[in-house]
Amino acid sequence: MKKKVIKLLLSGMLTAAVTTSFAQADWNAIDKNNVLSNDTITKGRYTLVFINKDSSLNATVRHRMIDAFFKVYPKEASTYNHNTAKKVIFIIDPAYDGVAATGGNLVRYNPEWFHKHPEDIDVVTHEVMHIVQSYPDHTGPGWITEGIADYVRYKFGVDNEGANWKMPDYSAKQNFNNSYRITARFFVWIEKNYDKNFVKKLDNAMRTRTYKSTFSMDNTGKTFEELWAEYSKNPAI
């Protein structure tokens, strides 16, 4: 989310496309020189502007990124936010040294990540969910934001298996607010055991500034801490 820096986490064979984010206004500061291609693709209600600044970007990766966008973004919008941006911008930018960053309706990708991990197309799924989320600043904890984005990758991902991306096994070292896949797995468990619409409700509360620290208690009858204690005893999903 905005102004929040997230580091890449890797664990064994599991590759996690963990991302950074930047404010939409930063688009004005991005160097628009050295653009090799600038393509606009429209399918149905949604338009993707694909700007490439990397001469070595694999054509297959490019096509898979575009296909992934049009497969998952309409699903995410339909499920979580019908009012999400109808036009999205992707920038393949060698000057960016993270993995990916989202602000407003723009996602910036580091091509080096795809050179090394061409199978990890669902970076797209995670990032464009941040566009759908569009949470106002200070609306709720960041671990919820990233947990939901990885939950959506788990649900809607086009090739998580190909990227060897999956939910981590439970560990006593974990906590519900560790974010990303750890939190996402916890959300899957909550929906299995308590409320199948838990994430939809949580996402809406975050976007509409109605999230409260009592959200879990209000929707499951238990606090996040109490749910985690129960989850730790039987974490099967």
What residues does each domain of the chain span? 10-136, 154-233
Provide the pLDDT for residue 30.
Answer: 55
Q: Is the pTM of this model over 0.75?
A: yes
Q: Is the pLDDT of residue 28 over 70?
A: no
Cα dist from 58 to 7, 43, 52, 90, 119, whole Å? 25, 23, 11, 15, 11
Task: Name the more confident of 155 and 37.
Answer: 155
pLDDT digits over 58-74, tens only? 999 999 999 999 999 99
Least confident of 24-38, 87-101, 130-144, 155-169: 24-38
Q: How far apart are CA 52 and CA 66, in angstroms?
A: 12
Q: Which CATH number fits domain 10-136: 3.30.2010.30, 3.40.190.10, 3.40.50.2300, 3.40.50.620?
A: 3.30.2010.30
